[in-house]
Structure 1
């Protein structure tokens, strides 16, 4: 197993005395960990021209981050470089997509090699990259989950999973969790429970949502509910072996099934840990009980592993395994290709046979380059012990972040598992009222100015989403925590004036 301390900068670029520094520090800002990698000189479109093209030629629906959007030029492992050579620690991983590191040398080499051999052919022909990858990926899934369909995005994968469930069961209704996100295609928009993504036109009917089992912000929850190194500060009076919060959220699911949904349903879809919804973790045992209730109504259980898969949760390779459940269909994307546009649906032979009643075709699903990239990603995760790294560094990072929760009134909750972490900001701990987005943005912008890129999420957009490349080191975690602490101090000082 290759050590995580391998210096990838030296693998790709000779050490130069002029290695790019992060930025000019004021003296009070945390010092960015060193990196020997030197980015190429930016020689493309000027910044102002890029902004003008964005306004004129790209849809206004494509929003950007930050008051002055970053013009990114190059990436290397956990680092990103802008057009002026400034370095940033990517703590959002390209929206939880860069799994093994930006431009990882082994993955890059696999793509180059396949590009020189065969760019594209479809499923009407045999080609070894597809079949090698199918065997390799399905070997990492338990039970009867052995039949693979390759697609191009997480929305497309979830869309296909819903389609499969409806064909196999002969039922139509689907249940999802409020605040859950599963894509914005016409089919998946029905199970995405965020009004911000719904423009008000008809989308997939027959979709129903049940209460989000959020033990921090929800009606029920206590200090022993989560499978996480950090629990909520809410009190808990449950007796040993029982969880009142779990039981009550299951009652809510039963009520939806008995009142809003059809007598027989097609599926229940849920992420093992919510991503866009703000890294929400359910009470222990909730997903297991939910699967049982859903199956009693004839439904299949779909695990949306688009963000939680491939070792990111640390203790297990797949997020659903942390809940001790066996889904009927698993969807995956994002980290599957380390940023390369690919996704997958894995199911059982029985469900796959039902789906074969009619032709199904995807021009780019199973593309040779995508399969070569995906295969290299699987190898790197194993060879470099990245699942273990998620467990070790993720646990350490959460415990350090919990110290900020204890220090700052505005840090209401820290939660997650592995390198799937959320930090929820509130006006005060007693009310748990979400910190207004404009105030959170002040902290967020300051983190960026000091060199750390964070994501945002949650129904009220008041949660920092921390999902970095799985190759980060302890010194990166320490730096990110120090930056967040400095930004929080600056915010609190300004507020006190």
Structure 2
């Protein structure tokens, strides 16, 4: 194993050197080939009329040294040589040298409308000039206006909004709501899910390969309804029965709630088996529980077909949590629920010092306006299928691609060394990950085995960007 990783490192380093010196015929040992049937020239980024400012700050090496000295050692970074990103504009990022990269990950799906969108920047700047902070013990129109606009986007009776600072905090609050409203303690979440980094949400998460395995006595992890890797394929009924079994045999017969992402993000862009949530919501509600939809990554039109991910499963939850794309980079999250569930919190004080502060509220409202004005949902519905089709075309040519999945601009590409056995291609994924960066693409990586490319760009991502990404992936895979 050590020898294999030494070979991988040498391969990646050689690839970096060859591409930096603009050598079209890359001759590398072990993993890359120079067959004449492959295109000689690597694909190029689409044109973009923007010139970044000259960077005069500390170098990436200096930043890394300071980060290692003063920040927590648990922080990780992408790439063998970390990127020093200093500027962003729409779907592109720039490093300290001024080199442009296509951002196909949107800061972990956080940048919904594009980096430094002028409308959002203007809303934040103008509000900052007037008032940066006033807690909710005083009145301010920004939080009320934002809550009204957000509630208008929700179906059914989901009309009461709570603002927080992150997705972890949103899911913490949702879990507390469920327990207070039902009087029950036990929660059900899915294996392979991710719901945050706090002590309670880590218990919901069940990705203990890289999160702390804190003891959680009142949380049950149901079988993941994964159409590609799941034991029952796309049979939603059999997965739903597992939830029923947890309730009948693993609890007192009553639960506080069930929480799920509609498309698992960190878990590798896994879309749940069709019809799964409708069956499970019915089972959970009969057991006295409430249903929570985690829309931290799937919300705000990203799936293209619907504004909210849960709508793809034809359900209406009792509680919806959201963050990331809601603020286009601002520390902002929200929980939306019904007046009935919200009433249980009225018996005590529920307070958040920074949740819904004027600046974040102004920015969040601007995000909603931009999504509507620029028709970003329909844009995702147009560009997403084009990207997915390009990737599925690659799947026909490269046996390394085991699965292409997703909706709109939330896409996963799972790499395997054996399609029949679905053996995770961990080493190959690591090499391609570095190679794509050298070609100018920043992409996400995830899944239980770390073998899934997570493609979730800002929603201004174009068909030209999609073509470039597909061509770069084809170019890199052709040399493996």
How does the TM-score come out when normalised to structure 2? 0.91
Which segment drifts farther, 252-261 or 460-469?
252-261
Q: Secondary structure at the match of 1:120?
A: coil
Name which of structure 1's ranges 193-202 and 281-290 shifts more when overlaid on structure 2: 193-202
Once the 2 structures are TM-superposed, how far is the Cα of residue 47 of structure 1 from its aligned partner? 2.2
Cα distance change of structure 1 residues 473 and 24 upon mapping to structure 2, 3 Å threshold = farther
Structure 1 residue 201: Cα displacement: 3.8
SS of equivalent to 1:175: strand
- How far residue 198 of structure 1 moved from its aligned partner, in angstroms, is 3.5
Please name the residue that 1:458 is paired with: 447
Does structure 1 retain, via aligned residues, the 8 Å contact 2:171–2:201?
yes
Corresponding residue for residue 468 of structure 1: 457
Alignment: residue pair count: 446
Residues 473-482 or 44-53, more deviating: 44-53
In structure 1, how many angstroms separate the alpha carbons of the residues matched to 2:459 and 2:344? 37
Q: Contact conserved, 1:329 with 1:345, CA < 8 A, in 2?
A: yes
Distance in 2 of aligned mates of 1:375 and 1:468: 21
CA distance in 2, matches of 1:378, 1:252: 38
Deviations 1:196-224 (A, max 9, x none): 3432443x430000100111111122xxx
Contact 1:415 1:421 in 2 (8 A): yes
- Contact 1:23–1:86 (Cα < 8 Å) also in 2: no
* Equivalent residues of 2:203, 2:213 under 8 A apart: no
Describe the superposition over 1:278-323 as per-residue Cα deviations: whole angstroms up to 9, x where unpaired: 1111221111001001111111000000000000000110001111
Q: Distance in 2 between matches of 1:209 and 1:351?
A: 24
Contact 1:23/1:87 (8 A) holds in 2: no
C-alpha contact 1:337 1:373 (8 A) present in aligned 2? yes
Determine if contact 2:326/2:367 at 8 Å carries over to the other structure. Answer: yes
- Deviations along 1:10-69, one digit per CA (max 9) or x if unpaired, are xxxxxxxxxxxx987544110110111111111111222111101111111110000000
Residue aligning to 2:180: 167
Query: Counterpart of 2:78?
Result: 65
Residue aligning to 2:12: none
- Deviation of 1:97 (Å): 0.6
Report how far residue 189 of structure 1 moved.
1.1
Name the structure 1 match of 2:391.
Answer: 401
Q: Secondary structure at the match of 1:306?
A: coil
Q: For 1:472-483, list aligned pairs within 5 A.
A: 472-483=461-472
* Aligned Cα root-mean-square deviation (Å): 1.2
1:446 to 428, 431, 435: 435
Distance verdict in 2 for CA 1:384–1:24, change over 3 Å: farther
SS in 2 for 1:413: strand
SS of corresponding position for 2:279:
helix
Question: What are structure 1's unaligned runs of at least 5 residues?
Answer: 1-21, 226-244, 492-497
Question: Which one is further off, 421-430 or 259-268?
Answer: 259-268
CA contact (8 A) 2:225 2:236 kept: yes
1:54 aligns with 2:43: no
Partner of 2:108: 95
Instruction: Give 2:250's match in structure 1, choosing from 238, 247, 260.
Output: 260
The residue aligned with 1:86 is 99
* 223, 229, 237: which one aligns with 1:211: 223
Q: 1:241 maps to what in 2?
A: none
- Contact 1:311–1:390 under 8 Å retained in 2: yes
What is the CA–CA distance in structure 2 between the aligned matches of 1:262 and 1:379, rounded to whole Å? 46
Question: Which runs of 4 or more aligned residues in structure 1 lie more than 3 Å from their structure 2 counterparts after TM superposition?
Answer: 22-27
Partner of 2:161 in structure 1?
Answer: 148
**Alpha carbons 2:60, 2:82 under 8 Å: kept:** no
Question: What is the distance in 2 between the residues matched to 1:324 and 1:403?
Answer: 30
Q: Following superposition of structure 1 onto structure 2, how do residues 325-364 of structure 1 map, counting pairs within 5 Å?
A: 325-364=315-354
Q: Which among 226, 248, 267 is matched to residue 238 of structure 2? A: 248
Give the whole-Å Cα distance in 2 for the aligned partners of 1:201 and 1:475: 45
Distance in 2 separating the partners of 1:265 and 1:478: 47
Task: State the distance in 2 between where 1:90 and 1:261 align.
Answer: 44
Per-residue CA deviations over 1:238-278 (Å, capped at 9, x if unaligned) read xxxxxxx1111112121111122232100000001110111
- Structure 1 length normalisation: TM-score? 0.88
Q: Contact 2:199/2:214 (CA < 8 Å) preserved in 1?
A: no
- Counterpart-to-counterpart distance in 1, 2:213 and 2:382: 44
Q: Within 1, Cα distance between the matches of 2:106 and 2:59?
A: 25
Equivalent residue, structure 2, for 1:486: 475
**Match 1:279 to one of 265, 269, 290:** 269
**Aligned match of 2:212 in 195, 199, 220?**
199
Question: Could you tell me which residue of structure 2 aligns to residue 110 of structure 1?
Answer: 123
Q: Which runs of 5+ in 2 are unaligned?
A: 1-18, 25-40
